Chain A
Amino acid sequence: MTTTTAARAVPSPPTDEVGRRRGLTSARRKSLTGWTFLAPATLLIVLMSFWPMFEAFLLSFRTGRGTRMRWADPWWANYTRLFDDGIFHQTLANTFMYLIVQVPVMLVLALVLAVLLNDRTMKLRGLWRTAIFLPCAVSLVSYSMVFRTMFSTDGMVNDALLALHLTDHPVNWLGNAVTARMVIVLGLLWRWTGYNMVFYLAALQNIEPSTIEAAKIDGASDFRAFWHVTVPQLRPMILLTAIMSTNGTIQLFDESWALTAGGPANGSKTMSHYLYELSFQNNPNFGYASAVSYVILLLVAVLAAIQMKVGDKRD
């Protein structure tokens, strides 16, 4: 992220003569100005983000509870500990389940919605767009609690199912690992689809309508025109949303915390939720918690790298 901002902020080398009078080339002078503007933010990011990350990295080689910390022996002990930790394995599996099920469904849905809502002849287009985008203005904890109420045994969903005679007795949605995960996936879809749709809508504005018209004149069906003309042009945006969603899902916390409380029997708990428990609820084990956070970081980095390798076709 920092590199892209830097690239944008530093202007391309101009060729005017003014700068030379002071002994600096204009390009250099402008470059310096750019760096001056960048410096405060960079400094803050380094101090408040990278330095703690570095400290946490060191900390992941330490062990002990509370303030009684010492260097782990061997120093990678917190990382090998992960291999024996049943709860970590379960949270890892849960998190990947969310990732594999939810992200593709959400992105396809967002893409379809974006294309539908990009139709210039549609009535009340603004209203639909706003309605679909609005969920992501809701706080994560509030919507989690609303979902929890809706899916409780005596909640709205069960009432509706009973009224429609789709079931004889209320379903214990959150009391069963499979359905509890399903409710979280549903919640995530509701909360984030509109958000990704907006990215696609923005990208669609940049697509020259004549390219699609040309395809249609050549006899392509609507779907073929969408698949072979629109989608390739959206590729950078699809890549961006895929990386962002992957990143967000691997760090999923609020839904696990507020919607299902990780239950039943850790069946829907995410890695970040476990990380929080290790630090603040259980007997605090910050060394191990740091190791967990570095594994999360590593997973995000590796997945983003794979996606960029696969998805970015620019040379």
Chain B
Amino acid sequence: MNINRRSVLGLGLGAAAVATLAACNSGGKNDQAVAGDVPTSGTLTVWCWDPAFNIYSMNEAAKIYQKDHPDVKVKVVETPWDDIQTKLTTLAQSGKLDQLPDIFLCQNNAFQKNVINYGDAFSDLTKGGVKFDEFPPAVVGYSTVDGANYGVPFDNGTAVQALRIDYLEQAGLTMKDFTDISWADYIERGTQLKAKTGHALISGQSGSSDLIMMMLQSAGGSLFDADGKPTIAKNDILLKSIDVLKQLQKAGLYVEVNSWDEYIRGFISGNHASALNGVWILGSVQTAKDQSGKWEITNVPKLDGIDSATNYTANGGSSWAVSAGKQPALANDFLKSTFAGSTQLYDTILPKAGALANWMPAAKSDIYQEKQAFFNNTAIYAQVVDYSAKVPKNNTGAYYYEGRDAASVAMTKILKGADPTTALDEAQKTVEFAMK
């Protein structure tokens, strides 16, 4: 039998069955637990996913915490994000919350959805002593529900525009021509660059709305309002963003690719002259060792004709969540003393893993001012930290993924020639239906 195919239905049915078990759980607040006495010993289990990045950072944090708390052990279990989401969903639905780890990393865009649905699984960290005002408000916003904080921000999703300076030079342009500009300027200068060098500037995965979402947030726009109602139809900022993308495509500056590998290949092969994404994309940029010294970064273009437009936005990023399970007080103290309180930690993980602090006091460290050889001896980390404080806040809410997917469908249709207003109206209806 075609076991693999059948198992999918089995999975759906099985997981669905699990849901009935705990169908009566009510959402509750766990805001007292983190403020309790902190035990001096114990083992903290952590789920996160990238050995070169967040797992490495967590292990370094453990070393720092253990200096003062020698009896506390940290056990990191490598778990891909998709698995964390699936496990969290199944465990929370079936009420087996004791099987969650003490700490897990959660994508910022999925944070509110999970807290709203599975409030029982999360510890409210508001009264735990973490100084949330030491993080950029846009970043803290992802893990804040009804004014309560549920996450300690980890990875910084601030958007950067990385450009090949050698290509710019060939076209008689400089980094200045791409800094603090609007998309109209971008198209003009990009066209000049393409005419002289033959290189397109950026690419995006077909059906992925990353670029649109970044443009939207750069002007403080969201797919939802503060009450969580979808604002896709008649959303001027969204319309403008899709229009910009259409112009970029028409001018041949934006190239659509089909997979993530193809996207990465686009710039590391020297085919595309730039990469525009969350700062974490620089990790991939730097895999092109032969291009050392040929890259620099700057902020992103802003939308024309929109009052709230800025040159700053974000994509991705994640925050640490403390499960309500066994040792919330210890887990909270651990995060408070490391990711929200140790300059030393960020000084270690920045050069080794490229993990950029969201925690603002860390950015004062000298290490952020160090010039990076790959980026033509510019202090890119100081630049990014500067951008990150200026990123406008956006609303994600519980239906972020539905909204994003509906917007991508609309975007794909519009790029193929559909009427923008109709396509966005349809997307609005799709999301409203999903919310019914």
Binding site for B on A (CB under 8 A): 49, 51-53, 55-56, 58-60, 62, 65-69, 81, 84-87, 140, 148-149, 151-154, 172-175, 244, 247-248, 251-254, 261-266, 272, 275-277, 279-284, 286-287, 289-290, 292-293, 296-297
Among A85, A152, A276, A286, the residue within 8 A (CB) of B433 is A85
Tell whether A263 pairs with B206 under 8 Å between CB atoms, given A149-B261, A284-B93: yes
Q: Interface majority SS on A: helix, strand, loop or mixed?
A: helix
Q: Does B113 contact A (CB under 8 A)?
A: yes
Question: CA A206 – CA B10 in complex, angstroms?
Answer: 35
Is A69 in contact with B19, judged by CB distance below 8 angstroms?
yes
Complex CA–CA separation, A172 to B349 (angstroms)? 41
Q: Which residues does chain A contribute within 8 Å of B98, judged by CB atoms?
A: none
Q: How far is the CA of A163 from the CA of B7 in the complex (A)?
A: 41
Residue B9 interfacial (CB < 8 Å): yes
Interchain CB contact under 8 A, B262 and A62: no
Residue in B10, B25, B113 whose CB lies within 8 Å of A67:
B25
Which residues does chain B contribute within 8 Å of A247, judged by CB atoms?
2, 5-6
* In the complex, B195 has a CB within 8 A of chain A: no
The answer to whether B12 and A272 touch across the interface, beta carbons within 8 angstroms, is yes
Residue numbers in B under 8 Å from A286 (CB-CB): 15-16, 19, 93
Residue B373 at the chain A interface, CB threshold 8 Å = no
Closest to B409 in A: A265
Within 8 Å CB of A81, what residues of B? 436
Decide if A248 touches B256 in the complex (CB within 8 Å): no
| Contact (A153, B262) CB under 8 Å given A49-B10, A59-B20, A283-B117 | yes
Q: Does residue B154 face the partner (Cβ distance < 8 Å to A)?
A: no
Q: Which of A53, A67, A86, A297 contacts B118 (CB 8 A)?
A: A67
- Complex CA gap A262/B207 in Å reads 9
Tell me whether B22 is interfacial, beta carbon within 8 Å.
yes
B 391-436 contacts with A by CB, 8 A: 398-399, 401-402, 405, 408-409, 412-413, 426, 429-430, 433-436
Instruction: Given A148-B259, A174-B206, decide whether A290 and B117 contact each other with a Cβ distance below 8 A.
Output: no
Stretch at the interface among B51-59, B84-92, B376-384: B84-92
| Chain B residues closer than 8 Å to A281, beta-carbon distance | 85, 401
User: Are B117 and A284 in contact, with the CB atoms below 8 A?
Assistant: yes
Nearest CB on B from A100, distance (A): 18
A153 contact set on B, CB distance < 8 A: 256-258, 262
Partner of A175, one of B258, B398, B433: B258
Is the CB of B40 closer than 8 A to any CB of chain A?
no
Chain A residues positioned under 8 Å from B409 (CB to CB)? 265-266
Asked if A86 contacts B19 (CB within 8 A), the reply is no
Tell me if A55 and B20 are in contact (CB < 8 A): yes
Determine how close the nearest CB of chain A comes to the CB of B409; give it in whole angstroms: 4
**B89–A251 touching, CB < 8 Å:** no
Given A67-B23, A86-B426, A175-B256, 5 more A-B residue pairs with CB atoms under 8 Å apart are A56-B17, A67-B25, A69-B20, A152-B258, A283-B402
Residues of A within 8 A of B257 (CB): 152-153
- Residues of A near B258 (CB, < 8 A) are 148, 151-153, 172-175
Assembly CA distance A243 to B401 (angstroms): 36
From residue B407, how far is it (CB to closest CB) to chain A in Å?
Answer: 11
Can you name 25 A-B residue pairings with CB atoms under 8 Å? Answer: A51-B17, A56-B14, A58-B20, A68-B27, A81-B436, A152-B257, A154-B262, A154-B265, A244-B1, A244-B2, A248-B2, A248-B5, A251-B2, A251-B9, A252-B5, A254-B4, A261-B207, A276-B11, A276-B12, A279-B12, A279-B16, A284-B93, A286-B93, A293-B9, A293-B12
Q: Which residue of A lies closest to B2 (CB)?
A: A248
**CB-contact partner of A264 in B85, B86, B412, under 8 A:** B412
Given contacts A148-B258, A264-B207, contact A65 B117 (CB under 8 A): yes
Closest residue of chain A to B13, judged by CB?
A56
Q: Provide the bound-state CA to CA distance between A149 and B263, in Å.
A: 12
* Min CB gap B13→A, angstroms: 4
The range of chain B's interface size is 35 or more
Residues on the A chain within 8 Å of B435, using CB: 283
Complex contact B117–A251 (CB within 8 A)? no
Q: Which of A52, A69, A149, A172 contacts B13 (CB 8 A)?
A: A52
CB–CB B118/A66 < 8 A: yes
User: Contacts of B430 on A, CB cut-off 8 Å?
Assistant: 86-87
Q: Is the CB of A263 within 8 A of B8?
A: no
CB distance from B99 to the nearest CB of A (A): 15
> Would you call A66 and B8 a contact (CB within 8 A)?
no
| Centre residue among A59, A62, A262 by max chain B CB count within 10 A | A59
> What is the bound-complex CA distance between A86 and B117, given in angstroms?
25
Say yes or no for B120: interface residue by CB 8 A criterion.
Answer: yes
Knowing A55-B20, A67-B23 touch, does A297 contact B9 (C-beta < 8 A)?
yes
User: Which chain B residues lie closer than 8 Å to A68 at the CB level?
Assistant: 26-27, 117
Bound together, the chains give a CA A213 to CA B426 distance in angstroms of 64
Q: Is the CB of B117 within 8 A of A52?
A: no
Nearest chain B CB to A250's CB is how many angstroms away?
Answer: 9
Name A280's contact: one of B10, B86, B434 (CB within 8 Å).
Answer: B86
**Quick check: A251 and B5 within 8 Å, CB to CB?**
yes
Decide: A282 near B19, CB < 8 A? Known: A53-B13, A152-B257, A251-B9: no
Residue B116 lies at the interface, judged by CB distance under 8 Å to chain A: yes
B16 near A67 with CB under 8 A, answer no
Contact A251 B8 (CB under 8 A): yes
B120 (CB) vs chain A CBs: closest residue: A67
Given the known inter-chain contacts A140-B4, A172-B256, A244-B1, please indicate yes or no for A282 contacting B434, CB distance below 8 A.
yes
B6-51 CB contacts (< 8 Å) to partner A: 6, 8-17, 19-20, 22-27
Cross-chain contact B13 with A290 (CB below 8 angstroms): yes
Write the nearest CB–CB distance from A95 to chain B, whole angstroms: 12
Determine the distance from Cα of A284 to Cα of B399 in the docked complex, in whole angstroms: 10
Q: Is the CB of A279 within 8 A of B15?
A: yes
**Contact B434 A265, beta carbon cutoff 8 Å:** no
* Residues on the B chain within 8 Å of A284, using CB: 89, 93, 117
Which single member of B20, B27, B262, B398 contacts A283 (CB below 8 Å)?
B398
Q: Are A280 and B85 CB-contacts (below 8 A) given A67-B93, A87-B430, A244-B2?
A: yes
Among residues of A, the one whose C-beta sits closest to the C-beta of B255 is: A153
Known: A66-B117, A86-B433. A175 touches B206 (CB 8 A): yes
Q: B95: nearest residue on chain A (CB-CB)? A: A67
> For residue B19, which residue of chain A has the nearest CB?
A286
Distance between Cα atoms of A149 and B8 in the complex (Å): 24
A272 touches B9 (CB 8 A): yes
**B399 and A283 contact, CB distance less than 8 A:** yes
